[in-house]
Amino acid sequence: MSHISSPARQRRLTPRALFLLGGLLVPWAVAADDAPAPPPGTVVLKGHAEAAYAVAFTPDGRHVVTASFDKTLKVWDAATGKEGRTYGGPQGHQGLVLAVAVSPDGQTFASGGADNSARLWDFPSDTPARQFAHNDSVNAVALTPDGKTLAGAGKDGGVRVWGAADGKQLADLKGHAGAANGVAFVGNGPILASVGADGTLRFRDVAKGQPVATYGAHNASVSAVAVNPNNAAAYTVGEDGLLKFWKLPPDVPRPLPPHADAVTALMLSNDGNGVLTGGADKTVRLSNFGNGQPLRQWKGPTAAVTAVALSSNGAVVAGGTADGRLFLWNGANDTLLSQALAHSGPTGAVAFHPNGSQLLSGGGDGLLKTWALPPLPVKTLTQREAHAGGVTCVAYHGNGTQAVSGGADKAVKLWDLAQGKVVRAFGPLADPVSAVAFSRDFALVGAAAGKMVKVWNVVDGKESLTLTHPAAVSSLAFSPDKTRLVTGAADNTARVWDVASGKELQSFAHAGPVSGVAFHPNGLSVVVAGGDRAMVHAVSATRVVVASEKPLRALALTASGSHAVTAGDDGKICLWNLGNGVKERTFEGAAGALQAVAVSRNGALVAAGGAEGVVRFYTFADAKMIGQFKAPGPVRGLAFSPNGQALAAACADRSLLAWNVVFNPGQPPPPAFGTVLQTYAHDGAAHDVLFAPDSVTLYSAGADKAAKAWKIASEVPVRNFGHPREVDAVAFDPAGTRLATGCHDGNVRLFDVAKGQQLKEIKAHLPPAPPNQNQTNPVYAVAWNPAGTQVVSAGMDHALKLWDAATGTLVREIKAYKEKEADKGHRDPVFCVAFSPDGKLIASGSAGQERGIKLWNVADGSLVRDFVNPSLKAPPGGTAPAHPGWVYGVRFTPDGKSLVSVGAAPKGRGYLAVWNVADGKLLYGAEMALGTFYSVAVSPDGKRLAVSAGATGGLPQDANAGYIFKTPDAAK
């Protein structure tokens, strides 16, 4: 194997032994008498167990990355020296780490090692990569599955949508009358669902910035919304303790032709194709249910229409009016068949016999009357008033022999029409009855009175349901399968109820008091009359589950969408089967109210956290708690990374942090489980957090009026480039898209960073022929020119070579010293190279007896100058050295005016020098008892230097460190 000959007897260094570093012999000097003493103001980066061999600043100068012989890389805060992250272990380098370089965008860094690999790592950061501004606290965030679009729900009720990549605002959606608490995309858009403190679930078209549909979802604040992965269903939880199921896509409400005044009466035809409405404008209208087109209009009443009815075959239309009249029209045309004074008070109720042979009416005079067609009174059901104070509503039983009525006397009565007798009375009620209705099978009868709706069994008269409203109820109707009930009230709202649980499923807001409601025969839609028109609404709520008696705060779906996990103020974490609404298991152990829950994508883990500031982990399969992490504050949001390797938490104390949660089901958690990966901070309480599909980008929402994007670093490399020998050097091109490596086999390799593919293999520094099989010419240094078009390499063969990066061809060689042929070249191995910022110069540093630094003209390869240290003597026949020991690193300052170099010095010291590029004058030179200096980096502003060091010469292990110095002032 080719190697450096026994090091020269340097004037100020007495070698004791040679430490072999993959073909590179590093001096191991005798013990020094003095201990490390960093200059005042120096930031010390302590933590490596062995020599810190390479160092690099991030582009923003805020962090430093060090590479060490201890097989790890560490990231440090450049201002404080605080260690931020260590990369190593089973997934890291398995040998000495010899090189490090940070990408120009600061998102990744590369390392090279003695394990014959170059590796790419995600770079951690405690500052957001992007911020998305809002007008108030951002309570929740959501991302499209493709990761391209981000939405934020604001405390001000607004929902903002941004392009995730460029931060451009795409939409500012208003609507919630209170805080928006949750958002979810339906697929990749353009539909966005949001929920809020106003109890609504709203769907908006993001591209158009327009509302699609608004549902009254809960009768309390809605806490969260989630969309099934197949985009066929959505789910919400609220402070009413309910979990609700919603079908997708959302249906747009459809208006029917308006009246010139308030709609006062409503009914559907038996087949559901026609919608009959009566209005205060003294007209009756028939509209097509399917397309909303007007079909017919009947006029004639001299007062507002108070009741309408349509015969079963649609042949006859009936209308009752406020002046006590009864009108009959031909259903096929505009012909008025007859009219009669039916009651001495308003005719408030009309209904056709099921076979169309008779008509039943009720009026303000308290009488119920049956009419033959044409309308001639056949019978008044009783000799006295059927309902004292007036009959307000009637409905025929399907058998045609019975009817139910309600009146101002607060009574509901079932009548035998033939005998005119009451079969059964329901109630009593607390207020006058405003509406009655039969279920389609006539097994149930419902009645509205004041703010209450009651339902009874027809057979035995037993009450089965009571529904309380915030305002007086005007109308009600059963769904065809009697599992739901729709009601209309004076608070401008129609509500759909689940009959089994008595819970509100959904509500619809209108412009005025709701006067009439009807279920369509298909059971999927309701027609609601309110204001001057009737509207057709889809019933999108398909199921309601009473999940808790206390408020629910959090909801998470499994990746398949088959199950949901809920959590809330009762401290319980429950798993629900979304196919049948059954609770399958409970995760025990929480000690307080819960505000966040998450399920890993692989279905292995469930995490939950809340007010007590503890995050607990459970196995999904058996609900066993396997661990808990202490968070810095109350937990508001949780999210697993898609790859299942990390969990992020948003906390009320402003912090955002991520833990390692790598876990294999059936095995105990590994030792690294629960290790904090990174921490971040909002300027206000952090409310929500989620991962992008790449498992690297993290989005959070906070009280600082912003959603923020963060970069989370993985503990494992994102790319691994195998090499046949040690990798001694790595360098990114200026764009950060290509990586150059220098290998111990003498080759330079270029890689596509994004694809992880090798672009070129350049046989750069091969041994002379015929080569010994053990002989190599290692490449110790590589660097890109500022244009990214050329790469310079240097190594054991004492030569520098300039390569065309596109073709891999040799542009120019600066040959090793050879008398009369290349008398300006290096006489010893070249350990380091650097381009000047303008790309016109190359600096190189060497080892051996030469210990030189040379400056070269890139255009023709000529030597510009040697950097000569005036305090050092030249060896026989050579140039005076630049350093007292080997030169390990050179870097230009950003302005190109100075060159910084580091290396070894006697007694295990390090040497730092600063040179004037224009004339080669030594501006600053100092030996420091801090260990050998192996690498140097200059901060982007040129004000600081980062140096890596190793504890040679018997120095304590603390000298295996990095140091950050202020750049020496040449004037001093």
DSSP 908: G
Considering only residues 122 and 264, tell me which one the structure prediction assigns the higher pLDDT. Answer: 264
Rounded CA separation 827/81 (Å): 38
pLDDT exceeds cutoff 90 at 372: no
- pLDDT tops 70 at residue 882: yes
814: three-class secondary structure by DSSP:
strand
Q: Is 907 helix (H, G, I), strand (E, B) or coil?
A: helix
Measured CA angle at 14 (ends 12, 15), to 5 deg: 130
Least confident of 25-39, 332-346, 717-731: 25-39
Angstrom distance (rounded) from CA 51 to CA 69:
5
Number of residues written out for the chain:
972
Model confidence at 661: pLDDT above 90: yes
- Specify the pLDDT at position 35: 41
480: amino acid identity, one letter: P
Is 98 in contact with 92 (CB distance < 8 Å)?
no
More confident call, 958 vs 864: 864
Structure tokens given for 656? 């955002």
Residue 167: which region, alpha, beta or left (left: phi > 0; alpha: psi -120 to 50)?
left
pTM over 0.85: no
pLDDT at 928: 92
Neighbours of 874 (CB within 10 A): 11
Q: What pLDDT digit, counting tens, does each position of 137-150 carry?
A: 999 999 999 999 99
Tell me the HSE value of 826 on the side-chain side, using a 13 A CA sphere.
Answer: 34
pLDDT of amino acid 953: 57
Q: How confident is the model at residue 18 (pLDDT cuts 50, 70, 90)?
A: very low
277 contacts: CB under 8 Å, gap ≥ 6: 256, 259, 263, 265, 266, 284, 285, 287, 308, 516, 529, 534
Residue type at 904 in one-letter notation? A
For residue 970, the model assigns a pLDDT of 45
Q: How far is CA 351 from CA 273, 274, 387, 438, 570, in A?
A: 18, 16, 17, 12, 49
Cβ–Cβ under 8 Å, residues 267 and 305: no
Mean pLDDT, residues 608-621: 96
pLDDT band at 678 (very low <50, low <70, confident <90, very high): confident
Residue range 46-74, pLDDT digits in tens? 999 999 999 999 999 999 999 999 999 99
Task: Decide the pairing of beta strands 887-892 and 863-866.
Answer: unpaired
Tell how far CA 680 is from the center of its chain: 16
Cβ atoms within 10 A of the Cβ of 291, count? 8
The tokens 């405003």 sit on which residue?
434
Q: Do residues 903 and 851 touch, judged by C-beta distance below 8 A?
A: yes
Query: Is residue 757 within 8 Å of residue 749, measured between CB atoms?
Result: no
Indicate the pLDDT class of residue 955, thresholds 50, 70 and 90: low
The pLDDT of residue 774: 62
Average pLDDT score over residue span 864-878: 88
- What are the structure tokens assigned to 724, written together? 């046949």
Note the pLDDT of residue 40.
Answer: 78
pLDDT greater at residue 256 or residue 955: 256
In the chain, the amino acid numbered 565 is V
How far is residue 618's CA from residue 608's CA, in Å, rounded to a whole number? 9
Please report the pLDDT score of residue 237 as a whole number. Answer: 98
Give the confidence band of 36 by pLDDT, cuts at 50, 70, 90. Answer: very low
Can you list the alpha helix ranges (DSSP code H) found in 288-427?
none
Strands of 284-288's sheet in order across: 263-268, 274-279, 284-288, 294-298
> At residue 592, does pLDDT exceed 50?
yes
Per-residue pLDDT, 427: 85
Task: Read off the tokens for 320.
Answer: 């009752």
Contact 677, 651 (CB under 8 A): no
- Torsion angles phi and psi, residue 604, rounded to 5: -90, -35
Residue 6 has pLDDT above 60, yes or no: no
Q: How confident is the model at residue 378 (pLDDT cuts 50, 70, 90)?
A: low
Q: Which residue has the higher pLDDT, 476 or 77?
A: 476
Rounded Cα–Cα distance for residues 57 and 80 (Å): 14
Beta bridge partners of 463: 456
**Tell me, what's the pLDDT at 48?**
93
Distance CA 61, CA 86 (A): 19
**Amino acid in the structure at residue 81:** G
Q: Is the pLDDT of residue 462 over 80?
A: yes
Distance of alpha carbon 140 from alpha carbon 152, whole angstroms = 6
Instruction: Look at residue 31 in the predicted model and tell me its pLDDT.
Output: 36
- Whether 516 shows a pLDDT value over 90: the answer reads yes
Tell me the pLDDT of the chain averaged across its residues.
91
Q: Give 221-256 as a DSSP string.
A: -EEEEEE-TTSSEEEEEETTSEEEEEESSPPPPEEP
3-state secondary structure of 427: coil
Percentage of the residues of the chain whose pLDDT score is greater than 90: 81
pLDDT tens readout for residues 379-404: 676 656 899 999 999 999 999 999 99
pLDDT at 772: 60
Q: Mean pLDDT across the stretch 328-345?
A: 93
**pLDDT score at 85:** 85
pLDDT at 971 over 90: no
Q: Can you give the pLDDT at residue 16? A: 23
Q: Helices marked H in 49-168 — which ranges?
A: none
Per-residue confidence (pLDDT) for residue 904, from 0 to 100:
95
State how far the Cα of 554 lies from the Cα of 689, in Å rounded to an integer. Answer: 13
Rounded-to-integer distance, Cα 645 and Cα 649, Å: 14
| Selected residue with higher pLDDT from 959 and 425 | 425
**Alpha carbon separation from 814 to 24, 799, 800, 827, 849 (Å, rounded):** 22, 6, 5, 12, 19
- For residue 17, pLDDT over 70 is answered with no
- Please give the pLDDT value at position 877: 72
List the structure tokens of 645.
């390797």
Taking 50 as the threshold, does the pLDDT of residue 680 lie above it? Answer: yes
CB-count exposure of residue 270 (10 Å: 0-12, 13-18, 19+): middle
Q: Which two tokens stand for residue 926?
A: 């100092």
Read off the pLDDT band of 707 (50, 70, 90). very high
At residue 409 the predicted structure's pLDDT band, cuts being 50, 70 and 90, is very high
**Residue 696 to residue 690: CA distance in whole angstroms:** 11
Per-residue pLDDT for 657 more than 60?
A: yes
> Is the peptide bond preceding residue 59 cis, with omega within 30 degrees of 0?
no
Shortest CA distance to 536 belongs to which of 757, 288, 716? 288
pLDDT (0 to 100) of residue 769: 62
Which of the residue ranges 26-30, 53-57, 269-273, 870-874 would you say has the lowest mean pLDDT? 26-30
Query: Encoding tokens for residue 259?
Result: 């009246």
Cβ count within 10 A of residue 9: 10
pLDDT at position 376? 64
State how far the Cα of 502 lies from the Cα of 219, in Å rounded to an integer: 13
Look at residue 337 and tell me whether its pLDDT is greater than 60.
yes
